[in-house]
Chain A
Amino acid sequence: EVQLVESGGGLVKPGGSLRLSCVASGFTFSDYSMNWVRQAPGKGLEWVSSITSSSTYTYYADSVKGRFTVSRDNAKNSLYLQMNSLRVEDTAIYYCASLLTAAGPFEYWGQGTLVTVSS
């Protein structure tokens, strides 16, 4: 059974930092590009970041560029998102999602972890 399990969310003050993790099982993690997608409370989905299977390339939405860093450890089947200089508008549920090919769909999704940025 495919599973993606996110963790690391919580309450943080504006300007603070947080590191999210996503552990994968049930599929060949190293074959897939991995992504972070977020959803603000009561809102739609927003792609945040992508990292290729061997970590060769990383991509970011303009809204997080320069503040967030995506990384992965294929030996641990794990994906990470280091979030710095957090803003109130970063408050959202953060999902990790797998992507087999660059133009393909997000095939597998986790259940999400909630990040709340508030003073």
Chain B
Amino acid sequence: DIQVTQSPSPLSASIGDRVTITCRASQSISTYLNWYQQKPGEGPKLLIYGASSLQGGVPSRFSGSGSGTDFTLTISSLQPDDSATYYCQQSYGKPYTFGQGTMLEI
């Protein structure tokens, strides 16, 4: 199975900060890496797919980069609504696996 490791967790930042969350896969997964945001009591919401493509309706302050084994999710200017837990997920092969999550506190 492909292991996916996220860091840091938790993460504390302030409004307006630039925030970066990293995700590392145990083997090369090309760009088959997706990012989700989850708020308490809700299902996850897709933010970024294919490592760097922004899902429709997602604010442009979110961006993703990387390929192979190392990936990043960046929030360019943190907003109050960004308080959530963020997960990366590899879709290179089954079983699909998720990172352990990064709880972002503002």
List B residues 71-102 near A (Cβ within 8 Å). 87, 89, 91-92, 94-101
- Which of A24-32, A66-74, A82-90, A108-116 interfaces with chain B? A108-116
Complex partner residue of B46 from A44, A102, A105, A110, CB under 8 angstroms: A105
Given A95-B44, A111-B42, A111-B43, are A104 and B91 also a contact pair (CB < 8 Å)? yes
Contact A105 B89 (CB under 8 A): yes
**Which residues of chain B are within 8 angstroms of A46 by Cβ–Cβ distance?**
98
Minimum distance in angstroms from B11 CB to a CB of chain A: 15
B contacts, CB < 8 Å to A: 32, 34, 36, 42-46, 49-50, 55, 87, 89, 91-92, 94-101
Contact A50 B94 (CB under 8 A): yes
**Which residues of chain A are within 8 angstroms of B91 by Cβ–Cβ distance?**
102-105
**Which residues of chain B are within 8 angstroms of A11 by Cβ–Cβ distance?**
none
Nearest-CB residue, chain B, relative to A112: B43
Q: Give CA–CA (A95, B55) in the complex, Å.
A: 20
Q: 7 tightest A-B contacts by CB?
A: A109-B43, A105-B34, A105-B49, A47-B96, A45-B98, A44-B101, A44-B100
A contacts, CB < 8 Å to B: 4, 35, 44-47, 50, 59, 61-62, 95, 97, 102-107, 109-112
Nearest-CB residue, chain B, relative to A48: B95
Minimum distance in angstroms from A21 CB to a CB of chain B: 16
Minimum distance in angstroms from A110 CB to a CB of chain B: 6
Contact B95 A62 (CB under 8 A): yes
A/B interface sample: 30 pairs, CB < 8 A: A44-B99, A45-B36, A45-B87, A45-B89, A47-B94, A47-B97, A50-B94, A50-B96, A59-B94, A61-B95, A62-B95, A95-B43, A95-B44, A103-B91, A104-B49, A104-B91, A105-B49, A105-B55, A105-B91, A106-B34, A106-B44, A106-B89, A107-B46, A107-B49, A107-B55, A109-B44, A109-B45, A109-B46, A110-B43, A111-B42
